[in-house]
Structure 1
Amino acid sequence: MPDNPLTALVVVAEEAKRLALHQLLTKAGFKIRSASNGADAIRLAKEIPDIIILDLHLPDLSGFEVCTQIKAQAATAVIPVLHLSDGPVECGDFDHHLERGVEAHLIHPVEAGDFLASVMALLRGRQLKRQFNAFLEVAPDAVVIVDHTGKMVQVNGQAEKTFHYGREELIGQDVELLMPERFRERHKAQIAGFVAQPITRPMGPGLKLWGLRKGGSEFPVEISLSPILDQDSVLIASIIRDVTERSRTEAALHISEIRYRRLFETAKDGILILDTESGKITDANPFMSELLGYSHESFLGKELWEIGLFSDKVANEAAVRTLQDLGYIRYEHLPLETSRGQLVEVEVVANAYQEDDHKVIQCNIRDITERSRLEKQMQEQAVALKDLHRRKDEFLAMLSHELRNPLAPITNAVRLLSFQKHEDDLKHQARTIIERQVGQLTRLIDDLLEVSRITTGRIHLQKERIGLNGIVERAVETARPLLDRHKHALIIALSPQPIWLQADAARIEQVVVNLLTNAAKYTTDGGHITIAVKREGDQAVLRVRDTGVGIAPELLPHIFDLFTQAERSLDRSQGGLGIGLSLVQRLVEMHDGKVEVESEVGKGSDFVVRLPVMATPTTQSASPQPRALSRTGPSLRVLVVDDNVDTAQTLRMLLKTTGHDVFTAYDGPTALKAVLDFRPNVVLLDIGLPGLDGFEVAKRLREDPSLNDVVLIAMTGYGQAEDLQRSKEAGFNHHLVKPADFEKVCKILATVSKQAN
């Protein structure tokens, strides 16, 4: 603010207008005195302000009367008066107005630049040079004052910044220096015309005007012109506003509008624009017409319910209210009828947003008829796939049952042959072959069912604290016959210290057996296989390495996939279904571990299993020992029930050789009668029986209190988890899957015999 600020008396009745002028003049460096009526204006004028801003409309006196009284006093007559009115003044009044001493007149609302230009003119007339310069310097726009010949006589600091010239470079130069060459010639004539008719020309839209910076760059400007009467000559005050940024914004907005319109016109979704207040459609894009078959004009002025988006006007108004409150709404799977009577399914997303000075609603309408059809098709396929999985599981269970049934009598018969005291070499060799192949077939059936259980998440781990060394020893014992048959050399390197896992012992043993079996099958006879166990940090590491054929690079990424096998000859001498390694990976991952493989063709394979270890227990449990054949003890009465006569007969013969009294039945009703007649200690009962199935037979037996002590053993080809659960619910004490391990049967009978005696 200047050291000796000028004082401006602002006489305006309207408070908002008075405050606005107050702020503008304060920023320009003035000290402000205010009045809202004529009487106060006349009183404050006696303080001799430097300028009076006088409104025409005051509550007590008119601006004319106030001006007349101020000019009538010698002390206040010299104060310049700038008159403001809200509209044009009659010529007679204006002339009378000038006669009363008003130096300038402006119509409100007036641009800040025009207002300041008028104030500048009045101050110039008072030759308040210092204050005038201060006023000039705080002006927000460039100010250039020229004489009647067009030479610059004064510029402000903003003009220097705008045009990149120093003040000394501009004073005395033609003002055309600041405009492009193409405008200069006609500008001289324009100056002469303005001097002849010096009327304020306010800033605003009109001709496109351009300024020229010192470096030669052009920029868009807006200009207001105000005459300044300087004794006998006329000066021209130009207020020049750089509108580069505004022009860029307007250009960007224009481009944005073009892009929006292009998107609007070409979008493959229907778009409706609605007025928020009325809810009526104001615009619709071409795709909307294409979707429903109506013309653009037929949409305009309608509400959404009238084009079928809502069932009635009430629902339509509720949706519009929701949009007004929340600004967003979404509907899915709305039916919409086209002009052709065809129903299409649409998804509607609507947003309310501000556009200029009012709110609008934009509705995006997407035809999802095809998507819904595909979703329905996918759902149907999912149901069909689920049914296919169910039927697959049923098939596997049935396949298992049908394959196990003939295996049972074969297994029993082979066991009977082993009881012969004088077996020649040929018979021994034949029996061994049968035992081996029956075992292989049993494992294949088990693998099929196992992978089905794992892939469908129906397997539950029975985790306990186990020692990995002991598990490996048992697995080696299980795989030993296959290793010996192929004459492989097996190197075992166990950990010198116990490694403890929280794991399912049977499943980890299955992992090790599968890896050893895989190594044995894919290593040429007489090869070397190494199994090693060690601890690395918090992990137990199990490694199975062989000197076999190796794995082809293209097969390596898929080696753990189901039914993946290395290329083999037509004789399929290695056997298997390509399930073992997939089971290994899935079982290891179920224990929070991982399995990896490295291999080169012709150089063997190296499988590495990593499992999390657990803290060492305070007492070490004894490792499970291989089970010896149990003796059955004192004789029992045993009923064997199976519709497969061979199975029933061979099992009867086996049990007789161990000293039991055995009776057979071949269907459900006969079994019920035999139990009542024979009063057995144990019933070995098949499930798939004619007449009554095994479950029903068991339930009826359990209904008789006199038979509570009879031990029921299910012997069946069905081995899924749900089969075991049904056996338990029916009242069975044990569930054995065919071909049942005769050692397990003997062990159960021994327990029953011990309890009976």
Structure 2
Amino acid sequence: MTTTDIHAPLVHAPIAALIVDAAGVVSFGNAAAATLLAEPDAGALRNSLFFVWFCEDDAETLRQMFDVFFKVPMETRGSWSRQMVLNGADGSCPTVTMTLAPVAGEGGERAVVYLRNMTREITAERRFSQMFETLPLGVVVVDGKGRIAQANAMLSSQFGWKVEQLIGQPLDMLLPQRYRAEHGAHIAAYAAAPVARVMGTDRDLNGLHRHGREFPVEIALTRFESSAQPLYMAIVSDISHRKRSERALQQTNAQLEEFTYVASHDLRSPLRGIADLVTWIQEDLEGTDLPDDVVHNFERITQRIERSEQMIDDLLSYARAGVRDSRMQRIDPHELVEEALELTAIPEGFEVDVDVQGGDIVAPRAPLSTSLRNLLSNAVKHHGGTQGHVRISMREEGRFAIFTVEDDGQGISPENEDRIFKLFHRASPKTDGDGVGLAFTRRMINAHGGMVTVQGRGSLGGASFEVHWPRILLRENEDDD
């Protein structure tokens, strides 16, 4: 085999390649080798000593390996690989995998050395290991038989086992006994179609602590790339705190609704009795010439009874507003805003601007429409003038549709920006109402995964309300059924 025949396939090879003799003298190097060794060109490698690119200890090891390699008969030589650290001419020290392979012909006096830069792979592995260990979620890697191949410190903490106690054990040791019979079938089904997915969002899924205590979890599954056998990675989230919060919120809502119903029943009866007494007194005095102040007081009593009854109705609405509406539908925001404007009594002296920039929303229509109507009505009622400017707009930001309702009215003082959302708080004693409207609106928006905020002085000069409403349906917002 001629020198040209040996060099030709290596010249443009993407991996660094050198041809060396038994003494380690380089007779050829390709461009990839020159780049790896930080030499100006491939020609600069010729007649250089291969061993000088390694530290003294590694160089001595390589000389001994070369001696063994070249002493054995050509027909019995095999390739071997070793990982070492190079000393580049520019001071770089890349970790490489070095493979020594025989060259056919020429009496076996030369060999090919392939050098593969492993720096990126090693850096990636190191970063993954750091992330794996420091991730604030439990992570476990299992093989196709469901045995634990790797686990991080957080998983160890969650389940109460030391990491070394988990390795090699069946994954179902982390599951309550009632789940284990079906676990093998689930592993096999997932291995047949390993699509990344989340378990435990639509049903209860529990993990088993070492001491027998069960706790709720969510698990994200994905295939873990491996050059050997297939591996699968599970990210385990302990959702005990979230479940406790959900139960506490459900209990609070239930207690609030129960209290409201009882209070409304107990309050309506005496109010009706007072109203009846006032009516009977007026009937008894019919035909009597009453002073104007007495007539006025009767009217005031009637108005206050009606206002109290309205307050009871508002309390019931407020209690119901904490219940999530699960009737999802696709909503055109342009139609939604037009509907809200049509159903709101906007005085003739007010100019209304509409600016909707965004696509459809998947949400329950009634609570979103009601929230916008309440804010539009609020903008007019608390404007402070008979003529004004109101603007309602929408834009998309992440997974939220952001509706803005603003006006050019008297605005809201900074100290009242938080108070106006409190139950029975009124922005001004001069305005009608019992101070439930904004509290009702916020409670309804929050119940559906949204948020409402206010800026006392917006771009128009008056109050500016922003509603962040989820425009994309998430699993946690789906109906539990």
Q: TM tier, shorter chain?
A: 0.5 to 0.7
- Given the alignment, which residue of 221, 225, 243 partners 2:116? 243
The offset of 1:219, in angstroms, is: 3.9
Partner in structure 1 of residue 128 of structure 2: 256
The offset of 1:439, in angstroms, is: 1.8
For 1:536 and 1:283, how far apart are their aligned partners in 2?
60
Code of the residue aligned with 1:330 in structure 2: it is: M
Deviations 1:721-748 (A, max 9, x none): xxxxxxxxxxxxxxxxxxxxxxxxxxxx
Matched, 1:276 2:144: yes
For 1:185 and 1:585, how far apart are their aligned partners in 2?
78
For 1:586 and 1:373, how far apart are their aligned partners in 2?
25
Distance 1:211 1:202, change over 3 A: farther
Q: Secondary structure at the match of 2:122?
A: helix
The offset of 1:557, in angstroms, is: 6.9
Deviations 1:571-628 (A, max 9, x none): xxxxx797538589899xxxxxxxx9999xxxxxx999xxxxxxxxxxxxxxxxxxxx
For 1:192 and 1:316, how far apart are their aligned partners in 2?
53
Partner in structure 2 of residue 436 of structure 1: 296
For 1:250 and 1:261, how far apart are their aligned partners in 2?
16
Distance 1:352 1:309, change over 3 A: farther
For 1:242 and 1:208, how far apart are their aligned partners in 2?
10
Deviations 1:527-570 (A, max 9, x none): xxxx74699999xxxx9999xxx996634775686544689xxx
Matched, 1:377 2:248: yes
For 2:33 and 2:314, how far apart are their aligned partners in 1?
83
Contact 1:147/1:235 (8 A) holds in 2: no
Q: Secondary structure at the match of 1:206?
A: strand
Code of the residue aligned with 2:415 in structure 1: it is: E
For 1:140 and 1:131, how far apart are their aligned partners in 2?
18
Code of the residue aligned with 1:322 in structure 2: it is: A
Contact 1:225/1:237 (8 A) holds in 2: no
The offset of 1:358, in angstroms, is: 1.9
Q: Secondary structure at the match of 1:311?
A: helix
For 2:157 and 2:140, how far apart are their aligned partners in 1?
13
Distance 1:161 1:451, change over 3 A: same
For 1:544 and 1:467, how far apart are their aligned partners in 2?
14
Partner in structure 2 of residue 554 of structure 1: 415
Code of the residue aligned with 2:268 in structure 1: it is: A
Partner in structure 2 of residue 137 of structure 1: 11
Code of the residue aligned with 2:144 in structure 1: it is: T
For 2:242 and 2:253, how far apart are their aligned partners in 1?
16
For 2:314 and 2:415, how far apart are their aligned partners in 1?
26
Deviates more, 1:383-392 or 1:302-311: 302-311
Distance 1:439 1:553, change over 3 A: farther
Q: Secondary structure at the match of 1:212?
A: coil
For 1:537 and 1:228, how far apart are their aligned partners in 2?
83
Contact 1:400/1:445 (8 A) holds in 2: yes
Distance 1:337 1:154, change over 3 A: closer
Contact 1:292/1:337 (8 A) holds in 2: yes
Partner in structure 2 of residue 359 of structure 1: 230
Distance 1:598 1:433, change over 3 A: farther
The offset of 1:319, in angstroms, is: 3.1
For 1:466 and 1:248, how far apart are their aligned partners in 2?
66
Matched, 1:330 2:199: yes
Code of the residue aligned with 1:137 in structure 2: it is: V
Partner in structure 2 of residue 391 of structure 1: 262
Deviations 1:1-41 (A, max 9, x none): xxxxxxxxxxxxxxxxxxxxxxxxxxxxxxxxxxxxxxxxx
The offset of 1:389, in angstroms, is: 1.8
Contact 2:271/2:305 (8 A) holds in 1: yes
Matched, 1:407 2:286: no
Q: Secondary structure at the match of 2:204?
A: strand
For 2:220 and 2:438, how far apart are their aligned partners in 1?
50
1:223-242 → structure 2 map (5 Å cutoff) = 224=100, 237=110, 239-242=112-115
For 2:58 and 2:208, how far apart are their aligned partners in 1?
66
Code of the residue aligned with 2:119 in structure 1: it is: S
For 2:36 and 2:432, how far apart are their aligned partners in 1?
82
Q: Secondary structure at the match of 1:378?
A: helix
Matched, 1:449 2:303: no
The offset of 1:289, in angstroms, is: 7.1
- Given the alignment, which residue of 313, 317, 320 partners 2:187? 320
- Given the alignment, which residue of 204, 222, 231 partners 2:80? 204
The offset of 1:139, in angstroms, is: 5.4
Partner in structure 2 of residue 580 of structure 1: 433
Contact 1:272/1:281 (8 A) holds in 2: yes
Code of the residue aligned with 1:323 in structure 2: it is: Y
Instruction: Report which structure shows greater RCO (CA 8 Å, sep ≥6).
Output: 2
The offset of 1:436, in angstroms, is: 1.7
Deviations 1:214-245 (A, max 9, x none): x4544445253758987xxx99545343422x
Distance 1:532 1:379, change over 3 A: closer
Q: Secondary structure at the match of 1:580?
A: coil
Distance 1:388 1:276, change over 3 A: same
Q: Percent identity?
A: 14
TM-score of the aligned structures, taking structure 2 as reference length: 0.54
Unaligned runs of 5+ in 2: 319-339, 351-376, 393-406, 441-453, 464-481
Code of the residue aligned with 1:400 in structure 2: it is: L
Distance 1:170 1:309, change over 3 A: closer
The offset of 1:385, in angstroms, is: 0.8
For 1:544 and 1:258, how far apart are their aligned partners in 2?
54
Work out which of the two has the higher radius of gyration on C-alpha atoms and give 1 or 2.
1
Contact 1:532/1:544 (8 A) holds in 2: no
The offset of 1:249, in angstroms, is: 0.3
Partner in structure 1 of residue 479 of structure 2: none
Unaligned runs of 5+ in 1: 1-121, 125-129, 419-427, 470-493, 496-510, 520-530, 568-575, 588-595, 600-605, 609-757
The offset of 1:329, in angstroms, is: 6.9
